[in-house]
Chains A and B, each alone.
Chain A
Amino acid sequence: MPTPPALADLEGRLGAILADHAACEGPLLPILHAVQAEWGHVPQEALPIIAGALNISRAELHGVVSFYHDFREAPAGRHMLKVCRAEACQARGGRAVEDAARARLGIDWHETTATGGMTLEPVYCLGLCATGPAVMLDGRVVARVDEARLDALLAEVEA
């Protein structure tokens, strides 16, 4: 993963993102996705600039950022494991994978390991409901996961 650019560049880079979305109808979510792709989270420092550009209040913007599960107000770990907790995966043994993930990493949902290597998030359905249990590791979907496959995945990223 590339090192996130220093927040010192924030104004310039954010300015470019805002300019890219100037013609967009309802631009806020695309802007927040672009910001998060750039810095790995939505930095506090970016909020007044975005609010100013879109002519909305900072409270309104905070409301939006905090509403959606995807947007992070602080950086995540170097890797991100999302484990599906929904019913179809549960029917195929998903609870055991959930428990194993928390036990192996020694963290609970929404937490990051002490080394900063891995963040664990629940996800409610990856659309792989006939081949569950399913997880997503750094944006890559993996199905038919059991404890052994989970271990292999974690070993791959040395978490």
Chain B
Amino acid sequence: MSLKLYVPRDAAALAVDAEKVAEAVLAEAKIRGTEVELVRNGSRGMLWLEPLVEVERDGVRHAFGPVSPRDVAALFDAEWGDHALALGPTEEIDWMKRQTRLTFARVGVIDPLSLEAYEAHGGLKGLRRALGMTGPEMIEEMKESGLRGRGGAGFPTGIKWDTVQKAQADRKYIVANADEGDSGTFADRMLMEGDPFSLIEGMAIAGICVGATQGYVYLRSEYPEAIHVMREAIRIARAHGLLGASVLGSGFAYDMEVRVGAGAYVCGEETSLLNSLEGKRGVVRAKPPLPAIEGFLGKPTVVNNVISLGTVPVIFEKGAAHYRDFGLGRSRGTIPIQIAGNVKFGGLFETAFGTTLGALVDEIGGGTASGRPVKAVQVGGPLGAYFPRALFDTPFGYEEFDGEGGLIGHAGVVVFDEQADMLGMARFAMEFCAVESCGKCTPCRIGAVRGVETVDRIARGDADAIPLLTDLCDTMKDGSLCALGGFTPYPVLSALMHFPDDFHARGKEAAE
């Protein structure tokens, strides 16, 4: 009997012993004399089921999970069929069926380092189509797709590219912002570990479009697996002529490399990222000049999030209209939402914009992992607002969340159960800002420290400190140079506004 099995190599699977599962599969196969073709794929995104092992039978993949190394022998006994861990055909699982996977179409499906598998699943079609277009035609395609920056700012990607294309310079750059530091987000990591060629293809299209010949992936050091996979993929792409002096024989030169960050959260902000890339302190730059005009080493630079760039190939493969026709209002296309924290079914869920927060948390996420009621949901990372259940009807979209005093950021959704102490979370937001502030502007550098002290005063029962905290937040919002100091008030003020009991009751308890 010959078997084709898939054991993920995504960091979220490796962190729960996927490597030992893979070893156990090979060892067990050897004992039994079974021929096994073992594919190390990315993750399907159903992270509560990791390690999720799949067997391919008659071209259909069947899932088993979560598999521990000691389950492997029994799974072989059951011939990877009827077993307590069997979940049925992977694509038929409700979580998968409800998604629209465009950016993540290949993630978890293919061996991330097989360029052959990449092409067999639609890869390089976008780049080949782009090579037949002029630069301005490519810009039009991007504008028509409606793609906006997936890092959180939501700026239209096509307009940014247009600026760089029109800028006159001897050298231009494409920079992928892979400094995914927001808690509750892992989409960049999963894409780079599960389908690195999509990022390479997207950056190559961007480079050819705007006339940039060199690209950098600024990748955080906390993601060793992503660094490894991305570097391997670049090496393979170069060996196959996808990168280099003449991309796919087109005559256009484009090459790229990975640069590793050094543990500074603020380097996810594009101007401090550029300083870091240049070898400086990761201090924020004042804008203007925009990076599109004066970016890396003073040259015109496209700085886009990994997901934005990783979505470019599918836009060119299927056409801008196909992408644009998904979505809601001014939020076009799909968004890979990361459902995390205290949630029963956590993972990566790509869907068209417009799903309500409540559907994401209760239906798709299945409520809390602890079984206790949901108290708050933080959307958009450490700088995102805490939403109470009363706002669960908010549809997932840039403007829709903004309208409720929040932001979608990089689309991380972190669920907290009723044990969460919202005063403690507000304090943590200020503490985090103090630790990670680059120090350039006063409202952020000093405001964050004073913020921690002020929250501590409230915790001790000093109600006079509450208006002081709101006032401080206003100063940080209006006076900070970048989103770190400017958005830290979101979690703080939303916690205060939606969960006042955690602030006032605390005060009363302490006073009594």
Centre residue among B184, B382, B436 by max chain A CB count within 10 A: B184
Q: How far does the alpha carbon of A63 sit from the alpha carbon of B281 in the complex, in Å? A: 7
Contact of B60 with A by CB under 8 A = no
Contact of A100 with B by CB under 8 A = no
Given A92-B369, A129-B412, 13 additional A-B pairs, CB 8 A: A25-B296, A33-B262, A67-B264, A69-B263, A69-B264, A87-B184, A89-B183, A124-B265, A127-B185, A128-B15, A129-B341, A141-B225, A142-B15
Q: Are B222 and A127 in contact (CB under 8 A)?
A: yes
Q: Which listed residue, B16, B296, B297, touches A144 by the CB 8 Å rule?
A: B16
Q: B289-323 vs A: 1/0 string, CB under 8 Å? A: 00000001100000000000000000000000000
- Please provide the chain B residues from 365 to 412 with a CB less than 8 Å away from any CB of chain A in the complex: 369, 378, 382, 412
Contact of A147 with B by CB under 8 A = no
Q: Which residue of B lies closest to A71 (CB)?
A: B262
Q: Shortest CB–CB separation between residue A89 and chain B, in angstroms?
A: 8
Q: How far does the alpha carbon of A70 sit from the alpha carbon of B12 in the complex, in Å? A: 22
Q: Are A129 and B185 in contact (CB under 8 A)?
A: yes
Q: Shortest CB–CB separation between residue B231 and chain A, in angstroms?
A: 12
Q: Which listed residue, B181, B188, B340, touches A124 by the CB 8 Å rule?
A: B181
Q: Which listed residue, B16, B214, B296, touches A143 by the CB 8 Å rule?
A: B16
Indicate whether A130 sits within 8 Å of B281 (C-beta atoms), given known contacts A26-B296, A124-B436, A141-B14. no
Q: How far does the alpha carbon of A129 sit from the alpha carbon of B223 in the complex, in Å? A: 13
**Among the listed stretches B203-211, B354-362, B413-421, B478-486, which one makes contact with chain A, having 4 or more residues with CB under 8 Å of it?**
B413-421
Count residues on chain B whose CB falls below 8 Å from chain A CBs.
Answer: 63
Q: How far does the alpha carbon of A82 sit from the alpha carbon of B47 in the complex, in Å? A: 22
Centre residue among A54, A124, A134, A139 by max chain B CB count within 10 A: A124
- Please provide the chain B residues from 439 to 454 with a CB less than 8 Å away from any CB of chain A in the complex: none
Q: Are A131 and B12 in contact (CB under 8 A)?
A: yes
Between A and B, 8 residue pairs with Cβ closer than 8 Å are: A26-B259, A26-B296, A64-B281, A70-B263, A90-B428, A128-B12, A128-B186, A131-B16
Q: Shortest CB–CB separation between residue A63 and chain B, in angstroms?
A: 5
Q: Are A68 and B262 in contact (CB under 8 A)?
A: yes
- Please provide the chain A residues from 77 to 99 with a CB less than 8 Å away from any CB of chain B in the complex: 86-92
Q: Are B341 and A25 in contact (CB under 8 A)?
A: no
Q: Are B223 and A127 in contact (CB under 8 A)?
A: yes
Q: Are A91 and B186 in contact (CB under 8 A)?
A: no
Binding site for B on A (CB under 8 A): 25-30, 32-33, 54, 63-64, 67-71, 86-92, 123-132, 134, 136, 139, 141-144
Binding site for A on B (CB under 8 A): 11-12, 14-16, 47-48, 50, 180-186, 188-189, 214, 221-225, 259-265, 276-283, 296-297, 338-343, 346-347, 369, 378, 382, 412, 414-417, 420, 425, 428, 432, 435-436, 438
Q: How far does the alpha carbon of A40 sit from the alpha carbon of B61 in the complex, in Å? A: 45
Q: Which residues of B contact A90 (CB under 8 A)?
A: 425, 428
Interface of A is mostly: loop
Q: Are A87 and B425 in contact (CB under 8 A)?
A: yes
Q: Are B12 and A32 in contact (CB under 8 A)?
A: no
Q: How far does the alpha carbon of A154 sit from the alpha carbon of B382 in the complex, in Å? A: 29
Q: Are A87 and B414 in contact (CB under 8 A)?
A: yes
Q: Shortest CB–CB separation between residue A49 and chain B, in angstroms?
A: 16
Q: Which residues of A contact B435 (CB under 8 A)?
A: 124
Q: Which residues of A contact B347 (CB under 8 A)?
A: 130
Indicate whether A91 sits within 8 Å of B415 (C-beta atoms), given known contacts A86-B382, A141-B15. yes
Q: How far does the alpha carbon of A132 sit from the alpha carbon of B183 in the complex, in Å? A: 11
Indicate whether A87 sits within 8 Å of B183 (C-beta atoms), given known contacts A143-B12, A143-B15. yes
Q: Shortest CB–CB separation between residue A86 and chain B, in angstroms?
A: 3
Indicate whether A64 sits within 8 Å of B280 (C-beta atoms), given known contacts A87-B428, A88-B183, A124-B183. yes
Q: Are B15 and A130 in contact (CB under 8 A)?
A: no
Q: Are B297 and A25 in contact (CB under 8 A)?
A: yes
Q: Are B278 and A92 in contact (CB under 8 A)?
A: no
Centre residue among A27, A63, A69, A131 by max chain B CB count within 10 A: A131
Q: Which residues of B contact A71 (CB under 8 A)?
A: 262
Q: Which residues of A contact B263 (CB under 8 A)?
A: 68-70, 123
